[in-house]
């Protein structure tokens, strides 16, 4: 089959690789129909996540048709399913608590040791996300093996096209959980850093959960335009001092809740970010936490901090004093996707959540390497890329929408 493989930093290629096979009784094999590139893939592309090996197949946002099932799979051939990015057994201590991304049974001992050393406990398996999380082949491919297919995948109705349901695999539940973690109360103002797909879905979710105001921060005009279109007030961090602006917009009190939907690759030329960049080059820190710091300092006293943005290692100048003295609460984590599949599918079916507004490009799988490059180099134009396995490869990716700042 054809699949997008990681070869090294800024080097991914579509290659012919062996087809996946049923390995365990609860496995299923999917013929992938749609798969997306995620902000988390960018961390792999940029070489920030250790544990990658040349030839690894990427992709943790995918859906497709079931073509083969093991004897213990509950799926049937021909069903269309969307698959959550964390792999969960459904039966361990954590899965029983609905903390699916903390599953204890899906990352084999030989690959989980590194995370146990780094985090104190081993992490769960994730599709296409390094040998720290199991080394599972991902879904940016024609076919993919889905372990624990009796637990994760959700069968989607035929009348909902792929683009409407694909993001149930990750970014939609991630944005939703980010907003849920804000414990939004009536009248609340929520500030969201990052208007990438995760930030945009967090904005949509926060408004749906009753946030009175959402303030969105980024610097890409097209992404800020999408945030505005959703109903957010917007701030371009190149044009204003973000903390001052937020204080002013909230009568000097600060936002009630803040969402860091940026993670470890914060941009910007603030002094702390430049220091982080310099230190990361000499391995004194691994993560650039500028946005996290800014969010913790900007949130009101007694406020809530929600962190869907991915962090992987160690950071400098964690504002622990502000965190404690202001009496903040923080909630974070890889998304417990399985928990949200049914309710979010219902929101999509009822038309309460639109999932297609952020797709900027469709492209054939054959062009995946070019799409990674485009998306890395030009996030202003490329908001979200969906790869289609059945699309014939034209000369360049189709551009569908141009988002102008209204």
Ligand X SMILES: NC(=O)c1ccc[n+]([C@@H]2O[C@H](COP(=O)([O-])OP(=O)(O)OC[C@H]3O[C@@H](n4cnc5c(N)ncnc54)[C@H](O)[C@@H]3O)[C@@H](O)[C@H]2O)c1
Residue 77 corresponds to which tokens in the numbers above? 């051939």
**Pick from 56, 142, 162, 170: which binds ligand X (CB under 6 A)?**
170
* Rounded least distance, CB 148 to ligand X, Å: 18
Which one of Zn ion, ligand X, none is in contact with 319 (Cβ closer than 5 to 8 A by kind)?
A: none
Is residue 193 near ligand X by the rule CB under 6 A? yes
What number of CA atoms fall less than 13 Å from residue 226's CA on the CB side? 31
Side-by-side strand order, sheet with 11-16 = 11-16, 2-8, 56-57
Residues at the interface with Zn ion (CB under 5 A): 38, 40, 88-89, 92, 95, 103, 105, 170
Is residue 237 near ligand X by the rule CB under 6 A? yes
* Rounded least distance, CB 169 to Zn ion, Å: 8
* Rounded least distance, CB 176 to Zn ion, Å: 14
* Rounded least distance, CB 331 to ligand X, Å: 11
Is residue 124 near ligand X by the rule CB under 6 A? no
Is residue 313 near ligand X by the rule CB under 6 A? no
* Rounded least distance, CB 218 to ligand X, Å: 4
Is residue 280 near ligand X by the rule CB under 6 A? no
Whole-number Å distance between alpha carbons of 339 and 151: 11
CB closer to Zn ion out of 92 and 275: 92
Is residue 224 near ligand X by the rule CB under 6 A? no
Whole-number Å distance between alpha carbons of 333 and 174: 9
Is residue 219 near ligand X by the rule CB under 6 A? yes
Residues 23, 28, 31, 34: what is their CA dihedral angle, to the nearest 10 degrees? -110
Residues 6+ apart with CB under 8 A from 166: 34, 35, 36, 61, 62, 63, 82, 355, 386
* Rounded least distance, CB 207 to ligand X, Å: 17
Is residue 217 near ligand X by the rule CB under 6 A? yes
Is residue 263 near ligand X by the rule CB under 6 A? yes
**Pick from 4, 259, 266, 285: which binds ligand X (CB under 6 A)?**
266
CB closer to Zn ion out of 151 and 214: 151
Q: Beta 304-307 vs 189-193: how paired, if at all?
A: unpaired
| Residue corresponding to tokens 């009753």 | 210
Is residue 195 near ligand X by the rule CB under 6 A? yes
Is residue 38 near ligand X by the rule CB under 6 A? yes
Which one of Zn ion, ligand X, none is in contact with 130 (Cβ closer than 5 to 8 A by kind)?
A: none
CB closer to ligand X out of 152 and 308: 308
* Rounded least distance, CB 341 to Zn ion, Å: 15
* Rounded least distance, CB 267 to ligand X, Å: 4
* Rounded least distance, CB 59 to ligand X, Å: 13
CB closer to Zn ion out of 165 and 245: 165
Of 222, 297, 235, residue with least CA distance to 268: 235
Whole-number Å distance between alpha carbons of 406 and 404: 6
CB closer to ligand X out of 2 and 267: 267
Is residue 268 near ligand X by the rule CB under 6 A? yes
Is residue 100 near ligand X by the rule CB under 6 A? no
Whole-number Å distance between alpha carbons of 261 and 175: 8
**Contact stretch for ligand X (CB under 6 A) within 50-58, 107-115, 158-166, 167-175:** 167-175
Interacting residues with ligand X (CB under 6 A): 38-40, 42-43, 170-171, 174, 193-199, 217-220, 223, 237, 261-263, 266-268, 290-291, 308-310, 334-335, 379
């Amino acid at each position: 089959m054809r699949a997008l493989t990681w070869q090294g930093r800024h080097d991914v290629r579509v290659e012919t690789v062996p087809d996946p096979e049923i390995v365990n009784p609860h496995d299923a094999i999917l013929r992938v129909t749609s798969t997306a590139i995620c902000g988390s893939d960018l961390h792999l592309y940029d070489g920030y996540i250790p544990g990658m090996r040349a030839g690894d197949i990427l992709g943790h946002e995918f859906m497709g048709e079931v073509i083969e099932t093991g004897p213990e799979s509950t799926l049937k051939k021909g069903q269309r399913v969307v698959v959550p990015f964390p792999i969960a057994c459904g039966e361990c201590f954590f899965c029983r608590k609905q903390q699916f991304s903390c599953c204890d049974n899906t990352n084999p001992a030989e690959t989980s040791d590194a995370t146990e050393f780094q985090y104190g406990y081993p992490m769960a398996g994730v599709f296409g996300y390094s040998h720290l999380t199991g080394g599972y082949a991902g879904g940016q491919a024609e076919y993919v093996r889905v372990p624990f297919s009796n637990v994760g995948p959700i069968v989607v109705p035929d009348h909902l096209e792929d683009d409407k349901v694909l993001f149930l695999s990750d970014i939609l539940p991630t944005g939703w959980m980010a907003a849920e973690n804000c414990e939004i109360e009536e009248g609340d103002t929520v500030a969201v850093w990052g208007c990438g797909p995760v930030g945009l879905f967090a904005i949509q979710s926060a408004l749906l959960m009753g946030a009175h105001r959402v303030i969105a921060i980024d610097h890409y005009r097209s992404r800020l335009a999408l945030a505005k279109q959703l109903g957010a007030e917007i701030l371009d961090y190149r044009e204003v001092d973000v903390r001052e602006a937020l204080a002013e917009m909230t009568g000097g009190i600060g936002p009630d809740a803040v969402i860091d939907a940026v993670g470890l690759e914060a941009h910007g030329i603030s002094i702390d970010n430049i220091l982080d960049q310099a230190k990361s080059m000499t391995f004194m820190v691994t993560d650039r936490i500028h946005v996290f710091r800014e969010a913790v300092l900007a949130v009101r006293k007694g406020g809530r901090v929600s962190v869907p943005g991915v962090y992987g290692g160690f950071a400098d100048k964690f504002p622990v004093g502000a965190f404690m003295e202001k009496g903040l609460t923080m909630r974070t984590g890889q998304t417990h996707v399985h928990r949200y599949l049914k309710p979010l599918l219902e929101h999509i079916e009822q038309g309460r959540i639109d999932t297609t507004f952020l797709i900027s490009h469709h492209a054939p799988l054959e062009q995946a390497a070019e799409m990674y490059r485009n998306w890395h180099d030009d996030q202003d134009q490329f908001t979200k890329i969906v790869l289609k396995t059945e699309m014939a490869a034209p000369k360049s990716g189709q551009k569908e929408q141009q988002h102008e700042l209204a």
